[in-house]
Amino acid sequence: MAGKGSGSAGDVWLRPPTRTAREAPPLSRDRIVEEAIALLDEEGADRLTMRRLAERLGTGSTTLYWHLKTKDDVLDLALDAIFAAVEIPGNDGRDWRAAVTALITGWRAVLLAHPWSAALLGRPMLGPNVLARSEFLYATLVKAGVVEPHLTAAAYGLSNYVIGSALMQATWTARAEQHPGSATGQAARERFRADSDRYPVLAAHGPLAVDGDWDTSFAIGLGWLLDGIQADAAAAGEAPESRSE
């Protein structure tokens, strides 16, 4: 069994298959990934091991290694699989802002539905589902008149925004679920009030992440990003389509 743990994140997309389906035991990669996602949703990434995954599948760890070499392979495949639920907007006459908004909003919904996922998105994302959605994002921005180096900055800005916001919301939500009735929010507000000379703005407005309207805050922030992208494209002399209200 030596060497089964070798490898790193992203390798599953770069490594050629070493066995044919005819040689493998009667357990499909799709079935393994499906069960891995269920485990991750229930218990989080820290609890995922090849042994525990094998137990859930009613098989042995050795059988899993016919299909996947490492835990990193499982995580990479699980991440790409959940992105299949992010709808790629169709060509239905919507302008570029509406299309990007639909894509990013769908991306956020998937990350929140699988709270373990946002923290893992620093991994190489080379799977077909992720790449198809990234291709759509870049292509839509190009049609909007965004050019390099602003194109990459815009795509990264949108990606980082949705990942960061989902990670923060998932973290706070998980904390509240793990500690029902927790007074963390109240304690934070009291701290800011007590130190209002040092933190006057926080004392006046309070930490949004504690008990704010996540959806509204996200929509406003996304709108600001798109405003900046649209203004930059217009300044470059290739103004995008007019903003839809």
Q: Which domains does the chain have, with CATH numbers?
A: 11-82 (1.10.10.60), 87-235 (1.10.357.10)
pLDDT digits (tens, 9 = 90+) for 30-40: 999 999 999 99
Contacts (Cβ under 8 Å, ≥6 apart) of 122: none
Highest mean pLDDT: which range of 49-53, 193-197, 213-217: 49-53
- Confidence band, pLDDT 50/70/90 cuts, at residue 176: low
What is residue 133's predicted lDDT score, i.e. its pLDDT?
96
Distance CA 61, CA 128 (A): 27
What is residue 91's predicted lDDT score, i.e. its pLDDT?
67
pTM for this predicted structure: 0.79
